[in-house]
Amino acid sequence: MSSNRGVAYAGPGRVEVIDIDYPELVLKDGPGVNPANVGRQVPHGVVLKVVATNICGSDQHMVRGRTTAPTGLVLGHEITGEVVEKGRDVEFLEVGDLVSVPFNIACGRCHNCKSGKTGICLNVNPDRPGSAYGYVDMGGWVGGQAQYALVPYADWNALRFPDRDQAMAKILDLTMLSDIFPTGFHGCVSAGVGVGSTVYIAGAGPVGLAAAASAHLLGAAVVIVGDLNKERLDQAHSFGCEPVNVADGDPRDQIEQILGVPEVDAGVDAVGFEARGHGGGSAAREAPATVLNSMMDVTAAGGAIGIPGLYVTGDPGAVDDAAKEGALSIRIGLGWAKSHAFTTGQCPVMRYHRPLMKAILHDRVQIAKAVNATPITLENAAQGYAAFDKGAAHKYVLDPHGLIGSA
């Protein structure tokens, strides 16, 4: 049996690369595994040799200690890999296939999956609808920031790349299909972005940058990106976005300077529950409802707001007791008065990943360049997490077997 190494949460602010079990076609007990899932047989699964696996802002929330994640939880839900073993019930994948894995695990059998709502599958997480690899309260499926990973319901979940050599040549782009590219795209589609739209995207982290690239792909006329981090705003500006530094104050006035009017057609919240107030100094303290309220302020009446940014039901480090349970002071009356539409929740990756794959393979988008994809070794994961936490304008891609460098 092969050995395996993975990135594990080691307490607030810390991750460690440790020896972990090589995947078998059964879900075993371990940190974060729901007891009702222990022993679950996975004859429909495959074992992947991980080619690329990315550090995500959602992982960073856990590593900061902002969730109830247990120590020892193996992290990582953005997985691209090569099939090295398949279960007896896998019909349409073969050993050697190179595949992208949606971060949300779906059975393909329940009502929600059959309706295309793969982000809220009813059968993979005993706690609630929806599941993901390596994430707190998501059923306990082991994370993919590792050398090898198990993927259940593989015929349904995995997206096979049609040509291995072509895929490896674009692997830094294709690895974004597991999460942030579809997630950013979903935020824009939910917000009604189309040809000629004006768009405001809050957050210039990887999801915000992916949303900005998606807005361009969808035909937006002007894409405005707001953040407190100048380096990340410079990254957004590098591919044609209009940057707004919210450290300078409310984005409404800056939007008016760009557009001539203080409102946009569509808004995307790519920040989530660790949002900070607008303005410099003490004004930039954590204020988790800030982005949602500003979105309602700057989105025109009749517009829509996509919310791919993560919001949680349990946040031990929140600024007040209400926020610790996910209860925020939202100006819902403003949204109601302006007839806004809101779309929240996990992106149903399978709705988008195949057409986005084609857009990458046929050079319609350069998503790796937009998010500044930066490969690092698995053993350097802790340094990647630390740099990302400090606001580095990079999307760190872990390369567990050195295959990205060789490509």
Q: Are residues 139 and 267 in the same domain?
A: no
Q: Are residues 84 and 220 in the same domain?
A: no
pLDDT score for 318? 84
- Categorize the per-residue pLDDT at 228 as very low, low, confident or very high, splitting at 50, 70 and 90: very high
Q: Are residues 223 and 372 in the same domain?
A: no
Query: Angle formed by the axes of helices 206-217 and 180-190, to 10°?
Result: 60
Q: Please count the structural domains in the chain.
A: 2
Range of the domain at 402: 5-179+348-406
Q: Which of 291, 320, 343 is the last residue of a domain?
A: 343
- The type of residue at 34 is N
- Categorize the per-residue pLDDT at 206 as very low, low, confident or very high, splitting at 50, 70 and 90: very high
Q: Which of 293, 327, 343 is the last residue of a domain?
A: 343
Q: Region of 281 please: left (phi>0), alpha (psi -120 to 50) or beta.
A: left
- Categorize the per-residue pLDDT at 281 as very low, low, confident or very high, splitting at 50, 70 and 90: confident
- Categorize the per-residue pLDDT at 209 as very low, low, confident or very high, splitting at 50, 70 and 90: very high
Q: Are residues 32 and 143 in the same domain?
A: yes
Q: Are residues 215 and 238 in the same domain?
A: yes
- 391 has a pLDDT exceeding 70: yes
Q: Are residues 209 and 159 in the same domain?
A: no
Q: Are residues 256 and 363 in the same domain?
A: no
- Categorize the per-residue pLDDT at 407 as very low, low, confident or very high, splitting at 50, 70 and 90: low
- Are the CB atoms for 48 and 101 separated by under 8 Å? yes
> Nearest to residue 22, comparing CAs of 52, 59, 49?
49
Q: Are residues 95 and 113 in the same domain?
A: yes
Q: Are residues 158 and 34 in the same domain?
A: yes
Token duo for residue 12? 């607030």
Task: Tell me the CATH number at 185.
Answer: 3.40.50.720
Q: Are residues 226 and 144 in the same domain?
A: no
Other C-beta atoms closer than 10 Å to the C-beta of 139 total 25
Please provide the DSSP assignment of 72-89 as one string.
Answer: TPBP---EEEEEEEE-TT
pLDDT in tens, 114-161: 999 999 999 999 999 999 999 999 999 999 999 999 999 999 999 999
Integer angstrom CA distances of residue 22 from 3, 48, 108, 134: 6, 10, 26, 15
CA dist 24 and 246 (Å) reads 48
pLDDT score for 282? 66
- Are the CB atoms for 179 and 55 separated by under 8 Å? no
Task: Tell me the CATH number at 364.
Answer: 3.90.180.10
pLDDT score for 218? 98
Please provide the DSSP assignment of 318-331 as one string.
Answer: -SSHHHHTT-----
Q: Are residues 107 and 227 in the same domain?
A: no
pLDDT in tens, 234-260: 999 999 999 999 999 889 999 999 999
In the chain, the percentage of residues whose pLDDT exceeds 70 is: 99
Q: Are residues 335 and 361 in the same domain?
A: no
Q: Where are the alpha helices (DSSP H) in 177-300?
A: 180-190, 206-217, 230-237, 251-259, 290-298
Q: Which of 322, 343, 364 is the last residue of a domain?
A: 343
- 279 has a pLDDT exceeding 80: no
